[in-house]
Amino acid sequence: MNELNCNACGKQFSTKYNLRKHVEALHLKLKPYTCQTCTKTFAYKHSYCQHMQVHLRVAASSDQSFPQAQTLKALSALLTKPYNPPPAPSKAQNKVDLTSVSR
C-alpha cells in the first residue's frame, strides 16, 4: 500500500508534500494562497501567481493610461482651439512670432 496515494480519490503523488497539497486543495478545499489585493484565495501557487499577473497588468495599464489621458486632454484642447492669431498691432510683431513658434 503506497502511502502517497490520496485516500479520497486514489491519485498517486511523488512526494508527501504534493499529496498533502492535493488533499488540502481538492478535498479539504483549503486554499493557502490569498491575494492581498482582492482577498481571492488559491489552492496552488502557480494559479496564485497567474492571478497576480492580472493585477500587475491592470496596474501597469492604468499607470500608462494616466499620462496618456493627460496628453489627450491637452491635445483635444489644442484641437478645439481655433487657430487664429490675435490681431496684434505691428509693434507686438515679435511676441506673435514667439507664440506661433512655440505652437
What residues line the site for Zn ion (CB under 5 A)?
Answer: 6, 8-9, 11, 35, 37-38, 40
Query: Which C-beta is closer to Zn ion: that of 33 or that of 96?
Result: 33
Shortest approach of Zn ion to residue 48 CB, angstroms? 9
Q: Nearest CA to 34 among 58, 52, 55?
A: 52
Minimum CB distance to Zn ion smaller for 6 or for 96: 6
Phi-psi region of 63 (alpha: psi -120 to 50; beta: other; left: phi over 0): alpha
At closest approach, how far in Å is the CB of 7 from Zn ion?
7
Cα 54 from Cα 50, distance rounded (Å): 7
**Least Å from the CB of residue 68 to Zn ion:** 25
User: Any idea what DSSP says for residue 17?
Assistant: H
Phi and psi at residue 34, in whole multiples of 5°?
A: -115, 130
Question: Smaller CB distance to Zn ion: residue 57 or 95?
Answer: 57
